[in-house]
Structure 1
């Protein structure tokens, strides 16, 4: 049986392990620089993000990490799903679907106008899964990112 629960401080190490597994799956194994202390602060200190844990028969098999954004067009907050990951052995168990449904419920409960996320264009299994859940591609939009040295330079602090 799949159960979804809100992450607790004692889940931080688990969440970081799952983030590392996700990075490996997404072909970026060395990209994770987050630490347990950083995640603990973000989730339970400053509370800039939230996380859910998916359990299959009491065993953690996945997570979702999300935060609120805001749409000026709808005048409402939204939920942005930063990461969703289910361990390979639990794929097909319904854990991913349960996480998405739980998040959709949170979005409704919090009067959010949107629930959105990004997916790598090569990740066909995830794209197919999201389409089956009713997600629509926003193909006319492209993600823009400034980070690292470019962020420092943009801020005029180089």
Structure 2
């Protein structure tokens, strides 16, 4: 049976941020923590060893695969900061046009630093992602 690697843990979010090597990235992580907490209305929780997540939802795919995931989140990784928003939402792509300097992966949006992005668009992305996932998975 497939075992999810990224699960909610009891690890300290502050301790995790304090252990980020780069002082600038640590500062950006605290700024993101404030923005995500305030905008989402959820308390920050560690998901796996390196993702700071907010809220959670239970998903179940047609394949039968199911699990829990944070509604939104971020991770101050060594190379870039990963931001986790819902995928499959066309509004996300619209919002990203005005977001600032970023790249996208399959499920992540990557930024180098907070100074590169528009914080109002970040707040809109957080709100939109939560709204989208709550509509997709209403039983949560």
Which TM-score applies when normalising by structure 2? 0.33
Question: Which structure is higher in RCO with an 8 Å CA cutoff and minimum separation 6?
Answer: 2
Q: Which entry has the higher C-alpha Rg, 1 or 2?
A: 1
Which TM-score applies when normalising by structure 1? 0.30
